[in-house]
Amino acid sequence: MLFALICKDKPGHLQVRLDTRPDHVNFLNGLNADKKLAFGGPFLDADGKPNGSLVVIEAADLAAAEAVAAADPYAKAGLFESVDIKPWNWVFNKPAEA
């Protein structure tokens, strides 16, 4: 099942994002078969600076998706003002399954 993690950064925390980014990227790239990254990237403000994230993961259930969100180095660093986790259905332009 797919879940969209919609994360909003706390105002004034850009440096936290920049400092934590390498660990965040390694974490997402390290997700395994039972918790898998589908795609993700930052939301941008009017100046083109990141101010949140959209991460879509494959997980068994909501509890597993919540565990991924809580373990993300960005979350552990206190970057996010809010994290909304929603079940999501990929309908359009879905890559062919291998």
Residues 4-48 pLDDT 10s: 999 999 999 999 999 999 999 999 999 987 889 999 999 999 999
Domain assignment of residue 79, given as a range: 2-88
Indicate whether 63 belongs to any domain.
Answer: yes
Does 32 fall in a domain? yes
User: For 39-85, how does the pLDDT look when each residue is reduced to its tens digit (9 = 90+)?
Assistant: 999 999 999 999 999 999 999 999 999 999 999 999 999 999 999 99
CATH number of the domain to which 45 belongs: 3.30.70.1060
55 domain residue, yes or no: yes
Q: Is position 49 within any domain?
A: yes
Domain annotation covers residue 8: yes
Query: Under a CB-based contact definition with an 8 Å cutoff, are residues 19 and 89 in contact?
Result: no
| Count of the separate structural domains present in the chain | 1
Q: What is the pLDDT of residue 94?
A: 86
Task: Return the residue matching tokens 């395994």.
Answer: 32
In a domain, 98, yes or no: no
Q: Is residue 96 part of a domain?
A: no
Which pLDDT value is given to residue 84?
A: 98
Spacing of C-alpha 23 from chain mean position: 13
